Structure 1
Amino acid sequence: LVPPPARAPALEAPTPTPTRRPRPKPAAAPTPQPDLPAILEVRIESEPPGARVSTPQGVLGLTPLSAFLPTAEATALVLEKEGHAPRTVRWTPDRGTTVRVTLRSDAP
C-alpha cells in the first residue's frame, strides 16, 4: 500500500506585526540660570576718565564709578565729556560687572 500523499498545511494569512511608533522625546529642560539679584553693582570706567554717566532715571556720577543697576532689563548708559562725542552703551547682566567705554575726541 502506498500511503496517501501528505497534505500541505493550510496557508494562514500572515499576522501583521504591529509597528511601534517612535515616542516623542521630551523637550529638553532649559539650562537652569543662576538666580540673579534684583540689582548688581557695576563698575563703569571711561577713557578719558571723568565722563558724566547718566541713565534714563538720572545722573550716576563721573567715571570711574560704581553703580547699582537693575538686572531685570537692559540699562542705557550715556557717557558725556566736554570735547568728546557722547556715547550710549547698553548694559545687561550677561555683559559682566565692568563697563569700559572709550570716548572719541571732537577735535578734528
Structure 2
Amino acid sequence: EIYQELLTYVQDGGHLFMATPHLNTNPRRGGEAMLIHDGHMEDLFGCVLQPGGKRMNVGYHFKRESMMEGVQYPYSSSPMADPIYSAGYVTYTHVTPKGCEVIARAS
C-alpha cells in the first residue's frame, strides 16, 4: 500500500530520494536484502535492484548539483569524496538502469 502511494506521488510529479534500505523488508539488521517487488522498481525509480553486490567501504560523489530548487546534494567539483563510511563496510545493491538518470557514483 505504501509503494502505491509513493508511485502515485511520483506519477503526479513528485521527487523521491531513497536508498536500498528504504525498500528492504528483512527485519534482521545486516541480513540479506529482501526487496519489495523482488527489486523491480522500473515504474517507481526506472531501475531494477539486485541484492548481493560488492562489499566495500567507500564514499559517494554526486555528479552535479540537484536539478530541484532548494535541494542540495553533497557535491564538490573535486573527483574525490569521503573515502569511508563511519560505520565501516556496506554491502551494495546492484542497480540496473531501466530509464533512470544516474546522479551519483562510488568514489
Task: Output the TM-score relative to the length of structure 2.
Answer: 0.25
Task: Output the TM-score relative to the length of structure 1.
Answer: 0.25
Give the strand-richer structure, 1 or 2: 1
